[in-house]
């Protein structure tokens, strides 16, 4: 059985010799996004209330590319700062 991504899975994508690692951030039948980085969003002088605190770097991965993904583990808590806080586990297939 081949791997089917789920949100909050940590994956390694071997994309034509480039190794990319990150969390499955969005899932749809047409594609997934993999979050490979975040950084704090600078304060905006025009916005009174900042809703989004980070800038997310995301990659698109289409269903025909899912065979290039290697599942590592899954997190229960996406707000944790460490792997222990995220409560990572290995999902059964």
Ranges of the chain with pLDDT below 70? 1
Task: Please report the pLDDT score of residue 1 as a whole number.
Answer: 53
Domain locations in the chain as residue ranges: 9-86
Q: Which strand (E) or helix (H) includes residue 86?
A: helix 83-86
Q: Give the model's pLDDT for residue 43.
A: 79
pLDDT of the residue at 35: 97
In three-state secondary structure terms, 54 is strand
Q: Tens digit of pLDDT for each residue in 18-27?
A: 999 999 999 9
Specify the pLDDT at position 44: 75
């Amino acid at each position: 059985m081949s791997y089917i991504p789920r949100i909050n899975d940590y994956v390694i994508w071997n994309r034509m010799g480039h190794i990319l690692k990150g969390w499955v951030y969005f899932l749809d039948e047409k594609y997934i996004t993999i979050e490979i980085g975040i950084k704090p969003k600078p304060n905006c002088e025009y916005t009174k209330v900042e809703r989004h605190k980070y800038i997310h770097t995301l990659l698109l991965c289409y269903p025909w590319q899912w065979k290039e993904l290697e599942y590592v583990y899954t997190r229960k808590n996406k707000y944790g700062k460490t792997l222990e806080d995220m409560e990572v586990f290995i999902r059964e297939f």
